Amino acid sequence: MTQEKKLLVSAIKNGTVIDHIDAGHALKIIRILNLADHQKVVTVGLNLPSRAMKFKDIIKVEGRELTPEEANRVAILAPTANLNIIRNYEVVKKFNLKLPEKIDHLLVCPNLKCITNHEPMDSSFAVLPAGHEVKVKCVYCEKTFHQNEIQEYKI
């Protein structure tokens, strides 16, 4: 008996594929990259089977190559993800994401008493890698948060 292999998410001609996203994080990544306003096809696979991760998410963005800044944003939510640049249906660049040391403006501090939630100023967080997880420390209130505690993002 042979096992049939089928493609669950179709190929793209040109663009970016973000693969090996921890299950449940793809929709947050779509939000912080503002992909809903992208004028091309964006394909999302949620809870796909994965040998390495059990389940994973995947995002395919037609007609757009992510910038290094955008890749850093993705790394906050999916530090173990791979980013593939596709041209003419072929992978031309493949790299693992790298966590930035600092994140400015993107995250809203979960500490309701933090000054960044009451004054017109940008947030700033130090990134504290913790294996496959990410923790961030607010520069202003000095509180540390797990990536799952971050509920709001500034686009």
Whether 9 is in a domain gets the answer no
Average pLDDT over residues 108-137: 91
CATH code assigned at 130? 2.30.30.20
Do residue 85 and residue 125 come from a single domain? Answer: no
Do residue 27 and residue 87 come from a single domain? Answer: yes
Average pLDDT over residues 35-58: 89
Whether 90 is in a domain gets the answer yes
Do residue 50 and residue 91 come from a single domain? Answer: yes
Record the tokens describing residue 4, joined without a space: 């049939």
How far CA 45 is from CA of 14, 17, 72, 141, in Å, comes to: 18, 11, 21, 37
Do residue 29 and residue 91 come from a single domain? Answer: yes
pLDDT of residue 7: 57
Do residue 24 and residue 83 come from a single domain? Answer: yes
Last residue of a domain, one of 77, 96, 115: 96
Backbone region of residue 117 per phi and psi (left: phi > 0; alpha: psi in -120 to 50; beta: other values): alpha
Per-residue buried b or exposed e for 76-94, using 16+ beta carbons within 10 Å of the residue's own CB:
bbbbbbbbbbbeeeeeeee
pLDDT tens for each residue of 65-119: 998 888 888 988 888 899 999 999 999 999 888 888 999 998 999 999 999 999 9
pLDDT of residue 153: 82
pLDDT of residue 91: 94
Record the tokens describing residue 37, joined without a space: 């306003």
Do residue 29 and residue 52 come from a single domain? Answer: yes
Whether 10 is in a domain gets the answer no
The structure's pTM equals 0.82
Domain residue limits at 63: 15-96
Whether 4 is in a domain gets the answer no
Angle at 130 between CA 128 and CA 136, to 5 degrees: 30
pLDDT of residue 100: 87
pLDDT of residue 79: 86
pLDDT confidence tier of residue 2, bands split at 50, 70 and 90: very low
Number of domains observed in the structure of the chain: 2
pLDDT tens for each residue of 3-35: 555 555 678 999 999 999 988 889 999 988 999
- Which strands make up the sheet holding 144-146, listed edge to edge? 102-104, 124-130, 133-138, 144-146
